[in-house]
Structure 1
Amino acid sequence: MSETDETPEAPGRLRRALPHSRRGRLLLISALVLAVAGTGLGTWAADTWPWPKDRYCWGAWEEDSGPGFLGDEAFGDHDDDGSRTDRETAPTRERPTGSCEVAIDSDYKSRYDGDEVSVDQRVSVEYGPAPKAAEARLSMVQDRFLGGDMVPLPDGLPGTVNGRGGLLVLPKSCDTDDGRPTVVTLEATGRYSSGPSYTRNDPPDLGGTREAAVLLVAAANRGMAATGCAPDEPLRISSPVYDLPGNSEFVFSASDDVCGVRGLRLGTEDVEEQIGAVTRDLQTCSVRGDRDDVPYLDLAMVAQPRLAAVFNGIVGERPVARGWRGTGVIGEKHALVRADCAGRPVTVLMGVSADPDHLAAFANAAAARLGCAPIAPKGAAR
């Protein structure tokens, strides 16, 4: 979404290269105090300690402000062996795209078995318009931010969030000249390695789903202010976050329905389903292999206007097939259809599977739940 550029480092980057653990920082400060006192400037030193806290992501986040990755707890018991660094390209009026990344790195020897341990974690934000190409847009939005473990942002904000990140669609004032919405995304990723062969996913601690939403909105407000498209009042998170209706569940029989949709079957029993949000504006579900986490099916219904606007221009101009309402397309990796439902346009999306029967079963189930006519013709899901 954002382009990589080689702009010079922003002022203050030297300060961010200094130790980020309290112990390391206190040792450094003590040494500097002694040095400053030796020059007769002890009063100046007393008036300026402690140093101001670091800020990240265009100034949106402050060190020690709550989430674990911004505090010393990011390093566990090995704070002297860790570092927190950042790099960023701020969006501007002339170039309304940007990115920022906070990196947590630790390397130490395990006190239990002596193995070399490496922790590599990243919290990344991207700001910019939705991609032009349909497949790139669906890969970014549906594959990353419409899974069964994503929930709607609270307070009517158009987007989704979970404990590892989220997506927010900005107001229309931030749209591009060709009508594409500008979006802000947040993602936490990481890897823990111990010894020569053990590796696991280990994303940094964002503090939970609600805190992830707060981080996302804070970055969005900074980006909008920098590009000149901010609303009169900044966006805020004040309400509780939607709770998932349940945990993931195993599918015990190949003839069992998945995603709570009658007639939606995958013909395999080695899968696990996660039913996500079920609201008037959003419905999601994901099916994965119960042992290897291989994706089998992703489904989503989006009726929230600004979130659905992300798919404007890529829903086609013709029905998916004869007898279907609305317009849509079915590709190798993604399918989507948009149709009027109870006075609102509803977008139904499918990922991984290319089977139109799966799309038909889910689309008609979503339409029935919303109280409107079927989207797929009778018998299409058989």
Structure 2
Amino acid sequence: MISALVLVLAGTGLGTWAADTWPWPRDRYCWGAWQEDSGPGFLGDEAFDDVDDGSRTGKQTAPTRERPTGRCDVTITSNYKSSYDGDKVSTDQQVSVEYGPVPKTAEARLAMVHDGFLGGDMVPLPDGLPGTVNGRGGLLVLPESCDTQDGRPTVVTMQASGTYTSGPSYVQNDPADLGGARQAAELLVAAANRGMAAAGCAPDEPLKVSSPVYDLPGDRERIFSTSDDVCGIRGLHPGTEDIEYQTGAVTRDLQTCSVRGDPDGVPYLQLAMVAQPRLAAVFDGIAGERPAARGWRGTGTIGEEHAIVRADCAGRTTVFLMGASTDLGHLAAFANAATARLRCAPIAPKGAAR
């Protein structure tokens, strides 16, 4: 009987261990959406670069029906001495997810969504999911069931950040490893599903990622002349020398272009066309009631750092955005190129582009 009992207990222990509940249960993060050692580097041992003195901690505030906002952070830190020169080396990385409605004010909303998640290196989420992603994070617009009472969409955003420090003065960016755009999309959608469930607005079927992620049409390119075209758009001239541009997505739902100063990388011009209905809805109510300028189609506003134009294109509401500049000549060239590709009427009058 004793031998039989030992065997039963051993079998029970083995089964529990295989299910990762004993003797070392795997930690879960972001409202239970992510599990330790589940794939991306920041959740595995490789996050510590084989350093013994490392830690991974999670902090979270889950959304609720009464307060449908939330945040979760996974933080990875490590400290060690360099085997090369003996300097103290430390890494501090973080993956942050936020759940909540887009801001009310136009400038805050544009700064959050356009500046953060519509850059040239962002690609559309697969499977028709309304949002964008890259290897450092992404944004997903949730279904209408999660909208606020005043009609603002709720979004889930994810961003990886981090620094590597060596010695008293050397610091460089070293974001947490999300495992690439495809893995980032899966992480984002998993967090969104958990957030919606907690907030009581989840759809009948959970969101999922099953298709490949869109490939960018090209790498960053550097130009030296003020008259060179950027992002493959004829007539889109930045008017400055020694810059770098990234041609982003070029689809029926999304088109993006980013121009940065080189070598400082400061944003010089950000352009985006958004026609995916739920992603375009993020910008509802902030395009004003009048045209952006004389002869322009649709409605639009020009702020201190952004411009937005909203118009019909081929039967769909389409939003044209510009950041880091308010020169309507740039927006005109970009918007008219996009409408020509989509086979709808130009947004800006002839001669407005430059």
Which TM-score applies when normalising by structure 2?
Answer: 0.94
- Equivalent position of 1:20 in the other structure: none
Q: Partner letter of residue 67 of structure 1?
A: P
Distance 1:42 1:174 in 2: 47
Alpha-carbon displacement from aligned partner over 1:227-257 (angstroms, at most 9, x marks no partner): 1111110000000000000100011311101
- Equivalent position of 2:216 in the other structure: 244
Distance 2:140 2:43 in 1: 22
Counterparts of residues 16-95 of structure 1 (less than 5 Å)? 49-78=22-51, 80-95=52-67
- Equivalent position of 1:287 in the other structure: 259
- Equivalent position of 2:339 in the other structure: 367
Distance 2:321 2:351 in 1: 20
1:257 and 2:248 equivalent?
Answer: no
TM-fit CA distance, 1:45? 8.0
Distance 1:45 1:84 in 2: 27
Distance 2:316 2:11 in 1: 67
- Equivalent position of 1:176 in the other structure: 148
Distance 1:52 1:222 in 2: 20
Alpha-carbon displacement from aligned partner over 1:352-382 (angstroms, at most 9, x marks no partner): 0110111111111111010011110111114
**Which one of the candidate residues 313, 316, 320 is aligned to 2:285?**
313
Question: How many pairs align?
Answer: 341
In structure 2, relative to structure 1, the CA distance for the partners of 1:51 and 1:302 (3 Å cut) is: same
- Equivalent position of 1:187 in the other structure: 159
Counterpart secondary structure, 2:97: strand
Counterparts of residues 1-382 of structure 1 (less than 5 Å)? 49-78=22-51, 80-382=52-354
Q: Partner letter of residue 275 of structure 1?
A: T
In structure 2, relative to structure 1, the CA distance for the partners of 1:355 and 1:115 (3 Å cut) is: same
Distance 1:71 1:259 in 2: 38
- Once the two structures are overlaid, the 10-residue window that deviates more, 42-51 or 347-356, is 42-51
Structure 2, unmatched stretches of 5+, are 1-8
Counterpart secondary structure, 1:224: helix
The percent identity for this pair of structures is: 78
TM-fit CA distance, 1:118? 1.0
Which TM-score applies when normalising by structure 1?
Answer: 0.87
Distance 1:209 1:42 in 2: 42
Distance 2:235 2:333 in 1: 7
TM-fit CA distance, 1:294? 1.1
TM-fit CA distance, 1:44? 9.9
Distance 2:26 2:232 in 1: 48
Distance 1:154 1:42 in 2: 45
TM-fit CA distance, 1:51? 2.3
Counterpart secondary structure, 1:245: coil
Distance 2:185 2:239 in 1: 37
Q: Partner letter of residue 329 of structure 1?
A: T
Structure 1, unmatched stretches of 5+, are 1-40
- Equivalent position of 1:5 in the other structure: none
In structure 2, relative to structure 1, the CA distance for the partners of 1:351 and 1:42 (3 Å cut) is: same
Distance 1:90 1:186 in 2: 15
Alpha-carbon displacement from aligned partner over 1:308-339 (angstroms, at most 9, x marks no partner): 00000101110001111000011120001011
TM-fit CA distance, 1:275? 0.4
